Amino acid sequence: MVSDMPEYQERTANNISTIRARIQKMIDIDGHRIDRLAAPWVFGNEVLSYILDLSPESLKKIRLHTEFFTGEAVSQLLFTIPSADPARYAEAVRYKFYTGDLPEWLHIGEPPLPPPIAVGTNFKGRLVNPDLARVQAYLGNLARAGLFDDRGDQRTVFLEIGPGYGGIEHHLLTLMPNKVTCIMIDLPLMLVISSAYIATNNPGAKIYIYDPEDPRPVTSDDVAKYDVIMIPHYRLDLLTGIDKIDFAMNVCSFQEMELCEVRSYLEFIAERLTHTAMVHANEYPDGRTLNDLFAEYFTLHPSREAYSQLLPPGSNGPFLHFLTRNGYRWRIRRVGLTPGNTDQVRH
């Protein structure tokens, strides 16, 4: 039996103009700070500057403008092969592997775009594409680490440094309504992209965006009030009033920063982390890794020695590590079932 294709539902774009204007203000007022970027992102900022010229209606389709930093070809989103077997496609992009031991409620799908844009292949009523499979992998591993555990009346505080287009945050807000606050730290131009994606696909989300004309510190009260908090990469100091971060994440951007900048993020997280941080692909082009720096602040799970056994011979990465404060009793478990072992982490 073939599942019905998820239907596109018209969403509001009313707040996208307001959000974009706020971020444009960041760029206009704080431009001197934005210039101090690693070389790849100086170039990236120039390439992506056209995003600011998109209309609100075009920003609702922001997913078609993400290939520069996801590495996927936009043609993978625009077209599907009518004769393709959805099950074989889902296996080819590893979606079936990443969902294999997860309960159905944790199986995610790409939000549909207006027809005839496909945004993926329909597998069991969910739109699947290579980047969606990547997001599914991260969510699954975070789930195995306890992200979706019940915390009663307390919101789970999730921090991502460099959240890209906001795919993980969109799914957290969908899966944990009113139970999670996502703190997103990124370049202002990238915040245009992620804010448009979330405002479109999570239209009820309460979003706080840094205002350079009123740069007040973010407080724990704000964390309890907002679903999303967006801060530019040069204002980490405004988050020092937050007393806890439950989960933190960085994917493929620490190695684009100077070591002093990475250290400032690690110090900030280490002082507040209640549970787990996850880092992925943190290797510089010359082969140096950040593992020694991580080990100054955290215990690594699995250990580097154990993880090396999971890599092909001669490979140095990419690395996927879970970080916890030293002395924290940490485990990987099957979601909703019984505790398991670290070999259940899916790479």
d(CA 232, CA 189): 9
Q: Which region among 87-101, 121-135, 190-204, 320-334 has the lowest average model confidence (pLDDT)?
A: 320-334
Average pLDDT of the chain, as a whole number: 81
Closest CA to 290 of 271, 304, 276: 304
Instruction: Return the pLDDT at 331.
Output: 58
Instruction: Establish if 118 belongs to a structural domain.
Output: no
Instruction: Establish if 2 belongs to a structural domain.
Output: no
Instruction: Establish if 193 belongs to a structural domain.
Output: yes
Instruction: Establish if 166 belongs to a structural domain.
Output: yes
Instruction: Establish if 114 belongs to a structural domain.
Output: no
Digit-coded pLDDT (tens) for 243-259: 999 999 998 888 888 88
Instruction: Return the pLDDT at 121.
Output: 87
Digit-coded pLDDT (tens) for 266-311: 999 999 999 988 887 666 766 677 888 888 898 887 655 554 444 4
- Is 347's pLDDT higher than 50? no
Q: Spell out the residues 6+ positions from residue 2 whose beta carbon is closer than 8 angstroms to its own.
A: 86, 122
The domain in which residue 339 lies consists of: 14-69+136-344
* Residue 24's CATH number: 3.40.50.150
Number of folded domains that form the chain: 1
Is residue 215 helix, strand or coil? Answer: coil
Dihedral sign for Cα 171, 174, 178, 184, please.
Answer: positive
What average pLDDT score do residues 181-185 get?
98
Instruction: Establish if 178 belongs to a structural domain.
Output: yes
Give how far Cα 220 sits from Cα of 155, 178, 224, 242, Å: 11, 15, 6, 5
**Residue 197 and residue 170 in contact, taking contact as beta carbons nearer than 8 Å:** yes
> Strand locations in 108-244, DSSP E?
121-123, 126-128, 156-161, 180-186, 207-209, 228-232
Instruction: Return the pLDDT at 305.
Output: 56
d(CA 56, CA 53): 9
Q: Which residue's entry shows tokens 């997280």?
A: 269
The token duo for 89 is 């496609």
Instruction: Establish if 131 belongs to a structural domain.
Output: no
**pTM, full prediction:** 0.87
Q: Which region among 6-10, 127-131, 167-171, 315-319 has the lowest average model confidence (pLDDT)?
A: 315-319
- Is 343's pLDDT higher than 60? no
User: How many residues are given for the chain?
Assistant: 347
- Is 109's pLDDT higher than 90? yes
- Is 40's pLDDT higher than 80? no
Give how far Cα 58 sits from Cα of 64, 190, 196, Å: 9, 16, 10
Query: Residue 250 forms beta bridges with which residues?
Result: 161, 279
d(CA 181, CA 222): 9
> At 123, phi and psi to the nearest 5?
-125, 110
Instruction: Establish if 32 belongs to a structural domain.
Output: yes
What is the dihedral angle through the alpha carbons of 189, 194, 198, 200, rounded to the nearest 10 degrees?
60
